[in-house]
């Protein structure tokens, strides 16, 4: 299992929630999250916080002005000999203070609306930038990790959870800032209540604690469910893509797989829905009970305030202010306590993102790396190399020893599972040997700069990527920094015979290839393969490696490609993997691999004369053409 990977086992029912200590401990992620927001845009972050501070004080000021308005109205009503007409009221000046108070409350209402809209706009812009920046950071970090990680299912689950958090946690930013705003508002309301009746605060807290504990429990349950169900959600995404995509449409229709895929999707989706429903029902039921407790507490306090008003301790304005303050304070505290629980839950989700960022690659450059030799003087030497894929019992290669000389074209031949592709991965340091070592010009391959090593190699695997990009960009990925060098791209296409393919495209080099996007043109397997081989020539590397590069080509095209390859690899070190003996016979030397070891080596004629495995396979293939 890769570093930091989570469990992959699937539960049969709702999994146990994280402990309270774990949930509180997850709050350690919040400073790093806030720092990430701050780095995204200091200006937007600061503007949001300052505007929220003003918004936080608007409610208490508005409510207090409302109290003053009511007291002023009551006082005016109780005056003897009040004016009769509105004109008389205005002329008397008795309405001046009331008018000023009403104007102030109106101004606050307008200000609150404007502040709310501006804050929402800022949060929206900041959230989008944060999502983009965290996605870029995730891709940048993923680019540093080892191939071993990406080939591990548990790591794929971890990566999927991290990918969801790049956009799924953006609401947390607004929630955190909103809670900071609400805390300022709560303090202002609490100060007013304490001034009149301090014990109301105690009653309020007692009423809200059960709701807080219940919300905390169910938030943790929700996170736990999402965490352990990640493999199933990934399978749902896969089934949805497989059942309805251009890449799979032909085979799905030919084999009639739609019903099978849809039924499998439905079964998984139903299971997930049932687990979510059970949790939602329990949450709603207990939430109703806790809300009722809070409501009882509110009305006890309301009754007390009303009674004290009847006793003359509070004015009508005080009654309005205290009742409004208690109601708002209850709502705010309920939201804060619930929000605190939700924040702790969201912080658990942040674990998924930050734990991914904590994964470190094992294959990296040394502190003082050697530059890749240009040109290679001696070549590569495999000394008793052994490698076993993580979690595998069988060794992919073991006791593997041979030399790849500088400027030699070496062919690798063997049955499936003999270790040919593994050898290439070790040569490019996609993996490091578990036993033995690989030397380059007498120095361990691990002593060289990793970026320089891979940048000096051009590897085209049989399962090369078919990029849904333009034909020009599909070739340019071989040396992406030269993507604007059209002369280099066309030269690479000419060397791989892809220029004839591109000449037939409606848009030529600017034609979008692949059917994923509008106006894309699909290519045949052989046409794709020629474009992929062009990437090797685009790179102009010291070492060329072609792993089954012509599997989709017809015999004539294959012969032409290898003839061209033989010419263009002059002066370079090259490795060819192929099952077709007509191709490998043009190599300078052939290695026959079996069970992860070199069984025989020599030229085509030498190996045929030895009457070993090579001769047997050659004869079997030749018989198929007779």
Q: Taking the model in full, what pTM does it have?
A: 0.63
Q: How far is CA 83 from the centre of its chain?
A: 71
Confidence of residue 110 (pLDDT cuts 50, 70, 90): very high
H or E element in which residue 380 lies: strand 379-387
CB-count exposure of residue 184 (10 Å: 0-12, 13-18, 19+): middle
The yes-or-no verdict on residue 8 having pLDDT over 50 is no
- Cross-sheet strand order for the sheet of 457-460: 457-460, 543-547, 573-577, 409-413, 589-594, 597-602
CA 91/CA 246 separation, integer angstroms: 81
370: helix, coil or strand? strand
Q: Which CATH number fits domain 23-358: 3.40.225.10, 3.40.190.10, 3.40.50.300, 1.20.1560.10?
A: 1.20.1560.10
Averaged pLDDT, 272-301: 73
Q: What is the dihedral sign for C-alpha 259, 262, 264, 267?
A: negative
Q: Are 207 and 331 in contact (CB under 8 A)?
A: no
CA 466/CA 575 separation, integer angstroms: 22
The yes-or-no verdict on residue 95 having pLDDT over 70 is yes
The structure tokens listed for 600 are 């025989």
Q: Are 220 and 23 in contact (CB under 8 A)?
A: yes
Q: Are 314 and 308 in contact (CB under 8 A)?
A: yes
Q: How far is CA 401 from the centre of its chain?
A: 41
Q: What is the pLDDT of residue 2?
A: 41
486-496 and 525-539 are packed helices; what angle lies between their axes, rounded to 10 degrees? Answer: 130
Q: What is the pLDDT of residue 355?
A: 81
Q: What is the pLDDT of residue 3?
A: 45
Specify the higher pLDDT residue, 222 or 77.
77
Question: Beta-carbon neighbour count of residue 270 at 10 Å?
Answer: 10
Specify the higher pLDDT residue, 340 or 356.
356
CA 315/CA 566 separation, integer angstroms: 100
Q: How far is CA 379 from CA 53, 311, 355, in A?
A: 67, 100, 40
The yes-or-no verdict on residue 311 having pLDDT over 80 is no
The yes-or-no verdict on residue 324 having pLDDT over 90 is no
Averaged pLDDT, 410-429: 87
CA 18-19-23 angle, 5° bins: 75
Greatest mean pLDDT range, 13-17, 39-43, 352-356, 477-481: 39-43
Confidence of residue 194 (pLDDT cuts 50, 70, 90): low
Q: What is the pLDDT of residue 385?
A: 93
Q: Are 185 and 56 in contact (CB under 8 A)?
A: yes
Confidence of residue 1 (pLDDT cuts 50, 70, 90): very low
> For the chain, what percent of residues have pLDDT higher than 70?
78
CA 579/CA 550 separation, integer angstroms: 10
User: Would you give the DSSP letter of residue 16?
Assistant: P
Q: What is the dihedral sign for C-alpha 527, 532, 538, 540?
A: negative
Confidence of residue 207 (pLDDT cuts 50, 70, 90): low
Q: How far is CA 125 from CA 44, 128, 129, 235, 294, in A?
A: 8, 5, 6, 33, 36
CA 596-600-604 angle, 5° bins: 125
CA 472/CA 490 separation, integer angstroms: 8
Instruction: State yes or no: cis peptide before 607, omega within 30 of 0.
Output: no
The yes-or-no verdict on residue 153 having pLDDT over 60 is yes
Confidence of residue 86 (pLDDT cuts 50, 70, 90): confident
- Cross-sheet strand order for the sheet of 435-440: 397-405, 379-387, 435-440, 443-444
Q: Are 322 and 197 in contact (CB under 8 A)?
A: yes
Q: What is the pLDDT of residue 12?
A: 35
Residue whose token pair is 């190996």: 607
Specify the higher pLDDT residue, 572 or 313.
572
Q: What is the pLDDT of residue 577?
A: 85
Q: What is the pLDDT of residue 341?
A: 65
Averaged pLDDT, 532-548: 84
Q: What is the dihedral sign for C-alpha 269, 271, 274, 275?
A: negative
Q: What is the DSSP string of 423-490?
A: HHHHHTTSS--SEEEEEETTEEGGGB-HHHHHHTEEEE-TT----SSBHHHHHHGGGGGGTT-HHHHH
Q: What is the pLDDT of residue 161?
A: 76
Confidence of residue 234 (pLDDT cuts 50, 70, 90): confident
Residue whose token pair is 């800022």: 122
- DSSP β-ladder status, 543-547 and 573-577: parallel
Residue whose token pair is 């999502």: 131
Averaged pLDDT, 582-586: 77
436: left (phi over 0), alpha (psi -120 to 50) or beta: left
CA 172/CA 351 separation, integer angstroms: 13
CB-count exposure of residue 425 (10 Å: 0-12, 13-18, 19+): buried
Greatest mean pLDDT range, 5-19, 154-168, 570-584: 570-584
Residue whose token pair is 């049955």: 415
Averaged pLDDT, 554-574: 73
CA 459/CA 543 separation, integer angstroms: 8
The mean of the pLDDT values for the chain is: 79
The structure tokens listed for 461 are 């695997």
CA 113/CA 107 separation, integer angstroms: 10
Show me where the domains of the chain are located. 23-358, 465-540
CA 500/CA 493 separation, integer angstroms: 8
Q: How far is CA 177 from CA 62, 116, 118, 190, 329, in A?
A: 22, 13, 14, 20, 18
Residue whose token pair is 């016979």: 585
Question: Beta-carbon neighbour count of residue 24 at 10 Å?
Answer: 14
The yes-or-no verdict on residue 17 having pLDDT over 50 is no
Question: Beta-carbon neighbour count of residue 393 at 10 Å?
Answer: 6
CA 563/CA 456 separation, integer angstroms: 23
CA 481/CA 69 separation, integer angstroms: 70
CA 36/CA 123 separation, integer angstroms: 14
Averaged pLDDT, 198-211: 63
Backbone dihedral angles phi then psi of residue 386, each to the nearest 5 degrees: -130, 140
- pLDDT digit string, tens, across residues 387-413: 998 878 889 999 999 999 999 989 898
CATH architecture for residues 465-540: 3-Layer(aba) Sandwich (3.40)
Q: What is the pLDDT of residue 488?
A: 92
What is the total residue count of the chain?
626
- pLDDT digit string, tens, across residues 454-493: 888 888 877 778 888 889 988 988 888 888 899 999 999 9
Averaged pLDDT, 228-241: 73
Question: Beta-carbon neighbour count of residue 519 at 10 Å?
Answer: 9
């Amino acid at each position: 299992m890769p570093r930091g990977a989570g469990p992959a086992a699937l539960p049969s029912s709702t999994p146990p929630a994280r402990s309270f200590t774990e949930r509180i401990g997850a709050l350690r992620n919040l400073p790093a999250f806030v720092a990430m927001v701050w780095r995204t845009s200091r200006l937007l972050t600061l503007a949001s916080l300052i505007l929220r501070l003003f918004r936080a004080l608007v409610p208490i000021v508005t409510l207090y002005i409302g109290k003053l308005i009511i007291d002023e109205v009551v006082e005016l009503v109780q005056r003897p000999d009040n004016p009769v007409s509105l004109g008389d009221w205005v002329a008397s000046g008795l309405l001046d203070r009331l008018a000023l108070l009403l104007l102030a409350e109106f101004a606050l209402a307008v200000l609150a609306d404007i502040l709310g809209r501006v804050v929402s706009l800022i949060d929206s812009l900041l959230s989008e930038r944060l999502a983009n920046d965290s996605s870029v950071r995730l891709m940048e970090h993923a680019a540093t990790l080892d191939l071993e990680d990406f080939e591990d299912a548990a790591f794929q689950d971890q990566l999927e959870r991290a990918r969801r958090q790049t956009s799924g946690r953006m609401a947390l930013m607004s929630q955190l800032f909103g809670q900071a705003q609400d805390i300022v508002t709560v303090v202002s309301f609490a100060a007013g209540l304490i001034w009149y009746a301090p014990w109301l605060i105690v009653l309020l807290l007692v009423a809200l604690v059960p709701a807080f504990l219940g919300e905390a429990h169910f938030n943790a349950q929700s996170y736990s469910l999402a965490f352990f169900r990640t493999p199933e959600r990934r399978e749902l995404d896969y089934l949805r893509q497989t059942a309805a995509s251009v890449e799979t449409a032909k085979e799905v229709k030919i084999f009639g797989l739609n019903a099978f895929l849809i039924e499998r999707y439905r079964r998984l989706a139903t299971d997930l829905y049932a687990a979510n429903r059970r949790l939602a029902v329990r949450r709603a039921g207990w939430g109703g009970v806790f809300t009722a407790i809070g409501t009882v507490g509110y009305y006890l306090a309301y009754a007390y305030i009303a009674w004290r008003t009847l006793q003359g301790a509070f004015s009508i304005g005080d009654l309005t202010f205290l009742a409004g303050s208690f109601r708002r304070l209850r709502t705010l505290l309920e939201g804060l306590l619930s929000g605190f629980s939700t924040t702790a839950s969201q912080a658990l989700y942040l674990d998924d993102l930050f734990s991914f960022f904590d994964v470190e690659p094992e294959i990296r450059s040394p502190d003082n790396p050697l530059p890749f030799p240009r040109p290679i003087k001696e070549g590569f030497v495999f000394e008793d190399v052994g490698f076993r894929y993580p979690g595998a019992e069988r060794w992919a290669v073991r006791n593997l020893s041979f030399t790849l000389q500088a400027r030699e074209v070496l062919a690798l031949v063997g049955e499936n599972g003999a270790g040919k592709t593994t050898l290439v991965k070790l040569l490019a340091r996609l993996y490091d040997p578990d036993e033995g070592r690989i030397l380059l010009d007498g120095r361990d391959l691990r002593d060289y700069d990793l970026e320089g090593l891979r940048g000096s190699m051009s590897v085209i695997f049989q399962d090369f990527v078919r990029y849904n990009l333009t034909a020009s960009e599909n070739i340019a990925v071989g040396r992406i920094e030269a993507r604007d060098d059209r002369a280099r791209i066309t030269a690479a296409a000419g060397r791989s015979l892809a220029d004839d393919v591109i000449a037939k495209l409606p848009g030529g080099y600017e034609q979008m290839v692949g059917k994923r996007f509008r106006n894309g043109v699909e290519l045949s397997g052989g046409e794709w393969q020629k474009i992929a081989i062009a990437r090797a020539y685009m790179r102009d590397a010291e070492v060329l490696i072609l792993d089954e590069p012509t599997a989709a080509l017809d015999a004539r095209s294959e012969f032409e490609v290898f003839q061209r390859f033989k010419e263009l690899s002059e002066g370079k070190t090259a490795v060819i993997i192929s099952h077709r003996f007509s191709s490998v016979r043009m190599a300078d030397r052939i290695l026959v691999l079996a069970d992860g070891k070199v069984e025989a080596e020599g030229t085509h004629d030498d190996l045929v004369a030895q009457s070993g495995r090579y001769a047997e396979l050659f004869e079997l293939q030749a018989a198929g053409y007779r």
